Structure formats: structure tokens, C-alpha cells
Amino acid sequence: MADLGRAALVVTLGLSVYALLAGAVAARANRRRLADSARNALFCSFASTLVAAAVLAVALARHDFSFSYVASHTNRALPTAYALSAFWGGQEGSLLLWLLILTGYGALAVALNRRLLRDLTAWVVPVFGGIATFFAFVLVAVASPFGTQTAPFDGAGLTPSLQNPYMVAHPPMLYLGYVGLSVPFAFAAGALLSGRTDERWIVATRRWTLAAWTFLGFGQLLGAHWAYVEVGWGGYYAWDPVENAALMPWLAATAFLHSVMIQERKGMLKVWNMVLVALAFELSVFGTFLTRSGVVNSIHSFARSSIGPWFLAFVVISSLFSLALIMWRLPLLKARTRLESALSREATFLYNNLLLVALCLTILWGVLFPILTQLVKGETRTIGRPYYDFFLRAFGLPLLLLMGIGPLIAWRKASVRALARTLAWPIAAAIAAGAALVAAGAGSSRPGLIAYTFSAFVLATIVVELVRGTRATGSVFALVARNRRRYGGYVVHAAVVLLAIGIAGSSAYSTTVERRLALGETMHVAGYSLTNRGVTVARKPNVTETRAHLAVTGPWSGSIASGNNDYVNPPEPSREVGIRTDWARAEDLYVIVDEAHPRTNLIYVEVLVKPLVNLIWVAGLVFLVGSGIALWPDAREQRRLVTRLVPAAP
């Protein structure tokens, strides 16, 4: 079995190298059969990678411990779903998943565009071939998932924190996003290499970019929810370098999704868009490097390895390649029009882009700083939460405001008078919301109050925009159907508002109390009373579960338990928190028992009351709905594309 997996990966490597070299020669020398052959090599590389992935999946499902990877990441007690999720629980498996998605995406994107964009795809194939060559090489020569050994009786098992339903979905979702960003990159590079920098590459990759961005965004929310329920520190985002690794390409892709609309409408920002596409791709590879190299301290320490230098070399080479390509084609990327007014939709998109990229680069600096200080001074200086929180407020709040102004401002040029008239209702709604919040006592946190007020403003602008659009077209369904991308985008804006409210509420207005409680003792937190009812210990085949039980009275009455799990295989502890959601009050009671002594029934407990935190998870669902609307195929648009690309009969 392992031999077949190894052979399949070697075949993939050979095919990828061929797609790279033959594809480049064919595109350069204008040779059709060679280009078709290189394209077939890309298709076949997906098939051979699929064979390799199937071999690993079968080995995981059968607990075949003769595979070192299977023995290192699973054991017999592991349910099949988690055994299969070990595919991406370790470094080699997750790299194989990268390659599988990359070759799959590449084959599909090239197949879908091979007739309409034949000249462009001739150059896209070698770009995909180049990226696949790197990953196939790493899997064949550096980190193979098909190493074998004498099979032990049982495996080492999967890290307990990864045995969670969210971890079954979170990593593949992130990979679908990370790797998805290679599609716009490959087409952009293909456009530059071929010298055909018209809009076809944008039209061809619009949905790919949106899909990758959706996967990446939703994947991060799944990861945040996993951290909230599993890691047990009471939060959902810790500005961990590996978390930031997923956020940075998402921010760059968000900037691109906005700025590309200006290129489509006005033929401007061509260089900027190329830079953003390259930045998003490089950050996605850099993110994989951060996750897999162990170069930074992270809670994702289960993913450390020695493949870092290979990734770093790839990031450097591909960044230089992108930069050189853009510089080479600068004359083709000149804009033919200019920004007509600083008060226009395109100007707000530009401001939005600057803020998004500034936030992205600020986070990048925060991630790189410890690595650079280690290299330069030999000591690691980490950047903490206050740094990130400051820049999140500095760039995030203006972004939130722009999200409200943007939809209501006209393209090309808007007058102050028209803008004031359009914004009157949203401003009134924001002021009313702000005053009501101050009256309700929300003035204790200025950033929180600003975030809430801006959120009210944005929600009001979305409502105003929908009402006016519906009046103009006669029906809200007709309105959305005529421009799915725009109105899907507004739904996504609503999701971001819910996210902002959830983050502001759960961070600026949360209450935390830590206490040592003896048996029968009671503590009071934000209207709740919690009484220690004792500690129990349950011994199961692979785990000892210690739980402190607390009786709760207040807004609701009942009991809540929290404690630790001590696993036998792998021998690791896992903190188990108690969470009770009160939907009527829109808040969570979050209980963390740090220590529980079964003999004395003494516990050390931290209790958090987190208002509005669940809006963050609701935002994830709204985000999916909005992205779904924007992604939904539009037959009219397809017809337009075909008439644009296929010359009409004379």
C-alpha cells in the first residue's frame, strides 16, 4: 500500500515538472500539441495525487500502523471520523491535502477555461505546475506520509484537542481557502506572462477568488469556535501567529475583491490588483510555512517540523518571481482613466483597500517581529495582544464606517449635498443607537460604544440601500437577482457588523471573576450565583474525567460542570470548560475550572459572562448566505461573457 502511495507521489512530481517545463516551452514557442500535453499532465497530476490521498485515507481507516504517519496520529480507540481527520492532523498529511486541492483546483480551473481563454491557460498550466512541483517535491523528498515501520500493536493517538467535530471541518476549510488563492494567482501570472492583461483573467477567476475567500473566512470562524469550546481560556481569538497566518491572506483577498471592481468598471488599479493577488497567494504559502515550520511559538505546536527552510525558499522565490513579473509588465498595466473625485464609490474602495492592507501588514509585522529579533539580537521578543488590539481599533473602526458609507455613495462623483441627504437616516439611526446605549450603561467602553454606533450606522445603510433599490426596481428579489454580487456583498457586510457587535460585546463588556471555592461555597458574577457542589472522577478506558459541579441560580437555574480530561494514549491532559448559552439575554456563562481536588472538593474556578458572543457564530452563517448569493451562477452574466469572448458571426 505504502509503495503505491509513494509511487503515486513520484508520478505527481514528474507530471508537475512536465507541466511546468513543457507548458512554459509550449506557451513561449506557441506549440499547441505540447500545450495540450502539459495540460493533460496537470489533469493527470490530480488523478495521481488522488490515488496517493486514497492510499493514506484507507490506511487511516484501517488503522494500518505499518504507516509511520498512521501510527503517530491515530490509535485503535479513535472513532473512524477522527481517524480520517488525522489526514490533516499531521504535517505530511496536511501537505498532501494541499497538493490534492491544488491539483484539483488547477485541473478544474484550466478545464473550465481551456476553450474561451486558450492563450491564457497555456501560461496558467506551467504556473500551476510550478506550485505543484514544490509541494510534490516536499512530499516525496522531505516529508513523506508514506514512511513505513514494523507495525506496533497500537498507535500514539490523535492530540485530544483535535478530537473535536470542529477540527474535522476547520483545517480542510482553511486549506480550501489557502489553496484557492493560488487560482487567481496562477491566472494573474498567466496574464502577465502572456502579456494579455485585459479583464479576462479577472472574469475567469472572480468566483474562484470569492469561493477561496469564503472558505478561508468560514474556516477561521470554525477555528475560533473550536478555540472557544475546546482550548478553554475563555476567548476565541488570541492573535496567535498561526491564527494570524489565516487572517492575513483573507484581509489581502478582501482588499482584492473590492479593488477589482474598480478595475472592472474603470480600468484602474491594474498594478495594485496584481500586487494584491500576489500578496494574498504569498501570504497563504507563508501561513502554511508559519503553521508547519515551528518557527514561531504557537498554540498549534502539534504541527512543528523541519520543513521550514523549504517553505521559506519557496515564498522568497515566488515573491521575487511575482514582483519581477509585475515590473516587467508595468507598461501594460497603466490605467487609462483617473479617479474623478475623492468623494465617490471608487474612492471609498480605495480608502478601504489602504486600511485593509495596512491592517494586514501591521499583523504581518507583529508575526515577523519575534523571528527578526531572534535573528538579529538572538533573543525572542513577542508582540502581545495590546499591539494587535490597538491596530484592530485604529484600522477596523474606520473600515466599519466606510462599510456604511461605501454602498450609499455614487460611482464616479458624489456631491456633499446628495451624500448628506442619502446618509441622513443612517446617521440618525446611529446617533439614536449611541444615545440609547449610553443610557443603558454601555458608555463604560469607548471603543465598544463606537463599534456599536458604527454597526448601527452600517446596518441602517444596508436597510436604506435595500429599500431604495427595491423602490427603483419594484421587487427586492428582482433587485438582488439583477446584481447578486452587490447584494450578496451587503449580506456579507451585515455579517461583519454582527461579528463586530459580537467581538465588542464579548471583549469590552465581559465580566470575569476568579475564586477558590470550598464545597458549598458560593460566588457571584454579573447576576449569577454559582455554588460548588463537589468534584467527581470518572475512569474510562482511555481517559480519566475529573469534573467540578456547580449549581447556578440567577437569570437561569441549573448546573454546570467543568474540569480536566487526562488521556492515557496519547498521555495528554485536556481542559474541559462548561458553557451555558442564554439566548434570551444573548450571553454565555463560561466556567473554567483550573484545579479540582477530588478528596477535598476544593476548586479554583474562573467564571466569565460574555455578552453577545454568540453573534460571532451567527455572523458565520450570515456570511455563508451572503457569499452564497454572490457566488450563485448568473446565466445572464455567462451569456455576456460568451458574447464578449466569442466574436459574433459577421
Contact positions vs other proteins (CB under 8 A): 1-4, 6-8, 10-11, 14-15, 18, 26-27, 30-37, 40-41, 43-44, 47-48, 51, 118-119, 122, 196, 198-200, 264-267, 408-415, 417-419, 421-422, 465, 468-469, 471-472, 639-641, 643-645, 647-648, 650
The three three-digit cell numbers of residue 620, written as one number: 458565520
Cβ proximity to other proteins: between 106 and 505 the closer is: 106
CB 649, min distance to other proteins, A:
9
Cβ proximity to other proteins: between 302 and 425 the closer is: 425
CB 410, min distance to other proteins, A:
4
Cβ proximity to other proteins: between 147 and 308 the closer is: 147
- The count of C-alpha atoms lying within 13 angstroms of the C-alpha of 538, restricted to the half-sphere facing its C-beta, is 7
For residue 550, which of 586, 584, 590 has the smallest C-alpha distance? 590
Q: Which amino acid is at 609?
A: V
Cβ proximity to other proteins: between 198 and 514 the closer is: 198
Cα–Cα distances in Å, from 419 out to 47, 81, 82, 133, 249? Answer: 55, 54, 54, 52, 33
Torsion of CA 212, 218, 221, 227, to 10 degrees: -80
Torsion of CA 503, 507, 510, 511, to 10 degrees: 160
Cβ proximity to other proteins: between 241 and 469 the closer is: 469
- The count of C-alpha atoms lying within 13 angstroms of the C-alpha of 341, restricted to the half-sphere facing its C-beta, is 11
Secondary structure of residue 270 in the 3-state scheme = helix
**Phi and psi for 299 in degrees, rounded to 5?**
-70, -15
CB 261, min distance to other proteins, A:
11
CA 8 – CA 12 distance, rounded (Å): 6
Cβ proximity to other proteins: between 62 and 644 the closer is: 644
CB 475, min distance to other proteins, A:
15
Cβ proximity to other proteins: between 347 and 503 the closer is: 347
Bridge-partner residues for 609, per DSSP? 511, 589
The three three-digit cell numbers of residue 305, written as one number: 517540523
**Core vs surface per residue 242-254: b (16+ CB within 10 A) or e:** bbbbbbbbbbbbb
Peptide bond into 598 cis (omega under 30): no
CB 642, min distance to other proteins, A:
8
**Phi and psi for 604 in degrees, rounded to 5?**
-110, 115
CB 637, min distance to other proteins, A:
8
CB 99, min distance to other proteins, A:
15
The three three-digit cell numbers of residue 337, written as one number: 482613466
Cβ proximity to other proteins: between 375 and 472 the closer is: 472
**Strand order in 602-611's β-sheet?**
511-517, 602-611, 587-597, 578-582
CB 64, min distance to other proteins, A:
13
CB 188, min distance to other proteins, A:
17
Q: Which amino acid is at 107?
A: A
CB 408, min distance to other proteins, A:
6
Residues in Cβ contact with 309 at an 8 Å cutoff, skipping those fewer than 6 apart: none
CA 311 – CA 506 distance, rounded (Å): 37
Cβ proximity to other proteins: between 265 and 585 the closer is: 265
Cβ proximity to other proteins: between 18 and 226 the closer is: 18
Residues in Cβ contact with 591 at an 8 Å cutoff, skipping those fewer than 6 apart: 530, 550, 560, 562, 577, 578, 579, 605, 606, 607, 608
Cβ proximity to other proteins: between 376 and 649 the closer is: 649
CB 501, min distance to other proteins, A:
26
Within 10 A of 231 (CB to CB), how many other CB atoms are there?
18
Do 189 and 322 meet the contact criterion of CB atoms below 8 Å apart?
yes
Cβ proximity to other proteins: between 27 and 132 the closer is: 27
Cβ proximity to other proteins: between 333 and 622 the closer is: 333
Cβ proximity to other proteins: between 493 and 547 the closer is: 493
- The count of C-alpha atoms lying within 13 angstroms of the C-alpha of 411, restricted to the half-sphere facing its C-beta, is 6
Cβ proximity to other proteins: between 10 and 543 the closer is: 10
CB 70, min distance to other proteins, A:
16
For residue 212, which of 162, 246, 161 has the smallest C-alpha distance? 246
CA 368 – CA 246 distance, rounded (Å): 15
Cα–Cα distances in Å, from 499 out to 7, 288, 496? Answer: 46, 26, 5
Q: Which helix (H) or strand (E) holds 610?
A: strand 602-611
CA 174 – CA 169 distance, rounded (Å): 9
For residue 42, which of 27, 30, 63 has the smallest C-alpha distance? 27
CB 315, min distance to other proteins, A:
29
Do 190 and 249 meet the contact criterion of CB atoms below 8 Å apart?
no
CB 468, min distance to other proteins, A:
4
Helices 484-508 and 614-631: crossing angle in degrees, nearest 10, is 170
CA 614 – CA 221 distance, rounded (Å): 12
CB 15, min distance to other proteins, A:
6
